[in-house]
Homo-oligomer: A and B are copies of this chain.
Amino acid sequence: MRISEAAAACGLSPDTIRYYEKSKMLPKVHRTTNGNRDFSQENVEWLTLLYWLRESGMPLKEMRRFTHLAQAGPETIPERRKILLDHSEQLRRRREKLDRCEAVLAVKIASYGAPDQENQT
């Protein structure tokens, strides 16, 4: 599978995939004779997981740690689970922040008055 296809399949851009490889977050990816990357189905699944971790705001540093654990074998599963659980907690907090922002924004919008009528502050 070429990089553009892998990109379409996992949700990351080709540039980002190359960047993740440079950043040691991928296992060795096979190359064709002319030097092009050739992604396996397994590779694509890993990229998809990375896509979701990143999408959910995990910093690359943490993703790198997660990657190294995953490469170390199944005995690191408890640690990996912990990372994901902690990360879930982060998401919960981000949601709370989002709620607060929405509330503040609503107040500000209200202070500008009702739609299409000129009034107030």
User: Taking beta carbons and an 8 Å cutoff, which residues of A are in contact with B?
Assistant: 49, 52, 55-57, 77-78, 80-81, 84-85, 87-88, 91, 94-95, 97-98, 101-102, 104-106, 108-109, 112-113, 115-116, 118
Contact = CB atoms under 8 A, between A and B. Distances in A.
Contact of A105 (B88, B106, B108, B116): B88
16 contacts: A52-B101, A52-B104, A52-B108, A55-B97, A55-B101, A56-B101, A56-B102, A77-B112, A77-B113, A81-B113, A84-B105, A84-B108, A88-B102, A91-B102, A94-B98, A95-B98
Copies of this chain, count? 2
Contacts of A113: 77, 81
A32 B104 CA distance: 33
